[in-house]
Amino acid sequence: MNNPWSAIEKPSVDFNVRLVNEEHPLKLFWGVDTRCRYLFAYDAAINGLPQKKSLPNLTGVEVHVAPQGARGKLVLVLQDNANWELFFALCSDLVRATALVKDETVASTVIIRRLQRWQELLRRCRPQILRPEEIKGLMGELLFLKGPLSSAFGLDAAVASWRGPEDAPQDFAIGETAVEIKCQTGGSKPVVRISSVDQLSPQLPLGYLVVYTLAGQPDDEPGSLSLNSLVAQIRDDLTRASVSSRERFEDLIYMAGYLPCEEYDNYRFSIVSVKSYQLTSGFPRIVNSDLIPGVESVVYSIRLDACNNFQSKPQWWPSNYEY
């Protein structure tokens, strides 16, 4: 991931800027000020810029409006350049959110709405680099969203059904079906870890456990995926989806702890297999009725070879997603 500010020279006055994208309908800029701080600017007619009272307070980012006659700029300034990857994620979100917006007044509304959402997200916590197991877990959920689920129901419905980052008991809930996703690598023991009693005890009529098995791949292996490339593919698919779906997806991946980071490109995988198990009577799991009063929570593992008799896919599972 390239730092877009690194090639911009420090100015002697005001700030130096570089256009983000010539094909974008709005005038958006990367910039550097006289203190070498990184900034992002939106140039528009003065009546198309937000009023100062509507500007949110962002942790680590100054937000202000700079009038310049009939036009002006909405400027975001990063207070500590060491946090540029987080700032880049925020600015890139604004670029994507306004990619189809030509009216400057509408663009201002969209930008403020996204900044208010970032204000809320940054107030909760700042994500750190995900651990390898967390990378695989998130990739499993994204593979299911992009693959079987969106193929069966469309990307809007698939994104709406993704509940894992919101700490729901199961990762997906669509119609009468709940789906929990697990991910393992080939060569590891065929065992998955269950982190709560509720995880395999869905409240919906139908429940499934879907397990992705991935194989580690070198950087130059054709068809291999990293977390960064998988997110990029879904973002590209979402350009044809609704605005609300695009915004929800961005919120969810941030809540899941993801920010674009070059380190994620070091973990590349290909899909070896996908197995689906129906959570019916007799499936090897712990349910609430098994707990002795006083036991508050449990974490346990199940052997997948003990689940073979329960292999079954939802009726809506597309035939072209067999591995």
**Percent of residues, the chain, with pLDDT higher than 70:** 98
Confidence of residue 2 (pLDDT cuts 50, 70, 90): confident
Q: Is residue 10 part of a domain?
A: no
Structure confidence at residue 262 (pLDDT): 85
Say yes or no: 160 and 187 in one domain: yes
Say yes or no: 179 and 114 in one domain: no
- Tell me the torsion sign for CA atoms 9, 13, 19, 24: positive
The rounded distance, in Å, linking the Cα atoms of 305 and 268 is 26
Chain mean position to CA 54: 26
Residue finishing a domain among 90, 124, 158: 124
The mean pLDDT value of the chain amounts to 91
Q: Extract the tokens encoding 18.
A: 């570089």
Residue 248 has pLDDT above 80, yes or no: yes
Say yes or no: 118 and 147 in one domain: no
Say yes or no: 288 and 174 in one domain: yes
Structure confidence at residue 261 (pLDDT): 85
- Tell me the torsion sign for CA atoms 162, 168, 174, 180: positive
321 touches 150 (CB < 8 A)? no
The rounded distance, in Å, linking the Cα atoms of 304 and 224 is 25
Say yes or no: 141 and 20 in one domain: no
Structure confidence at residue 179 (pLDDT): 98
Residue finishing a domain among 89, 124, 159: 124
The rounded distance, in Å, linking the Cα atoms of 202 and 29 is 47
Say yes or no: 30 and 163 in one domain: no
- For residue 274, CA distances in Å to 177, 311, 312 come to 18, 11, 11
Residue 125 has pLDDT above 70, yes or no: no
Phi, psi at 156, each rounded to 5°: -60, -50
Say yes or no: 154 and 302 in one domain: yes
Structure confidence at residue 217 (pLDDT): 87
Residue 323 has pLDDT above 70, yes or no: no
pLDDT, tens digit (0-9, with 9 covering 90-100), for 199-237: 999 999 999 999 999 998 887 778 889 999 999 999 999
Structure confidence at residue 243 (pLDDT): 87
pLDDT, tens digit (0-9, with 9 covering 90-100), for 293-308: 898 889 999 999 999 9
Confidence of residue 185 (pLDDT cuts 50, 70, 90): confident
Residues of the domain holding 27? 15-124
**Mean pLDDT score, 161-183:** 95
Confidence of residue 126 (pLDDT cuts 50, 70, 90): low
Say yes or no: 28 and 56 in one domain: yes
Residue 322 has pLDDT above 90, yes or no: no
pLDDT, tens digit (0-9, with 9 covering 90-100), for 143-170: 999 999 999 999 999 999 999 999 899 9
The rounded distance, in Å, linking the Cα atoms of 197 and 200 is 7
Confidence of residue 121 (pLDDT cuts 50, 70, 90): confident
The rounded distance, in Å, linking the Cα atoms of 38 and 76 is 9
Residue 1 has pLDDT above 80, yes or no: no
Domain count, the chain: 2
pLDDT, tens digit (0-9, with 9 covering 90-100), for 50-105: 888 889 999 899 999 988 888 999 999 999 999 998 899 999 999 999 998 889 98
